[in-house]
Amino acid sequence: MFMMKMIAVGCAVVIGTAAVSADVIMPDYHVVSRCVTIDNLDEYPDIAVVGGYRMGTGTLECYEVKKDSCLTKGYKFNSFYLFWVEKSYLASVGIDNIAFAGLLPQPQTAKRKFAVKEPPLFGLIGTDVEPYGGTVPDSNPVVSEQLTYRLDAGSAGFQFTLNLEEKVTVDKDGNTNRETYLGVGVKPGVQQNARTGVVTATATLGRDCLLFTPSWNGAAAAELIDCRGKSLVRFTRDCTSGYTYLVGIPGLSAGVYWLRIKSASGVATIAVKRFE
């Protein structure tokens, strides 16, 4: 008798959950499954990417994004956001104790729990990514989509943005269509070797942080210098070519600065500008 009651309770839970999460599909329409991934997270050793979705209640649920894992927004009507956070900060305080919600427009019904903290500890990623595939008319043969994005540094007022790199669709007959998108990953502040023309590093100043991307492997020592020749910050990194590194510089005012990088291949000096 006890086992029968337990089974009945379990069935009620399953049925209730299905009723809440199920979507009504219009006649002559079908669901397109969508998987959205970010494929180059390992190129940013200093930061983690966090996905967040806000429900109708105003609550923001957050999770750390892993490479090649599909992004999720919970329910299709939830609002979706992406954030970046310094890995050391995430490890020290935990994802539930970071005030990501303070970076977003506040719903009128929501109470603000946290004070907004200034970058470089964390920030909002510029993106309009939609993880939910939705429904399409049956006249559209597509049944699944795989969208691959890459994370890029420094664009339109954001420290980081997402750009679509590839879209793969599969139709009901199993046919695959692949579209690739070029022109992403452009990074300002290029320094070139005067004799060879080889790019040695790129750099940009975001809000209270420096981002730089070396084109060599190995240790480097660097410093950011203001227009009066004063060294503002010194740092070292064990560099991987093509990876982008983040250095926090709180309170940096607008103006032109110089990043001097010393490595085994020599010294590179890059002019970088901080905008308001």
Per-position DSSP letters for 154-165, written without gaps between them:
EETTEEEEEEEE
Q: What is the pTM of this model?
A: 0.76
Domains of the chain: 26-180 (no CATH), 190-274 (2.60.40.3080)
**Which pLDDT score is estimated for 114?**
44
Is pLDDT of 70 > 90?
yes
Is pLDDT of 185 > 60?
no
Please give the radius of gyration of the chain, using alpha carbons only, rounded to the nearest integer: 23
Residue 275's pLDDT band (boundaries 50, 70, 90)?
low
Q: Which two tokens stand for residue 150?
A: 């890459």
Average pLDDT over residues 43-64: 93
The 10s digit of each residue's pLDDT in 206-260 is 777 888 888 889 999 999 998 888 899 999 999 999 999 999 888 888 888 999 9
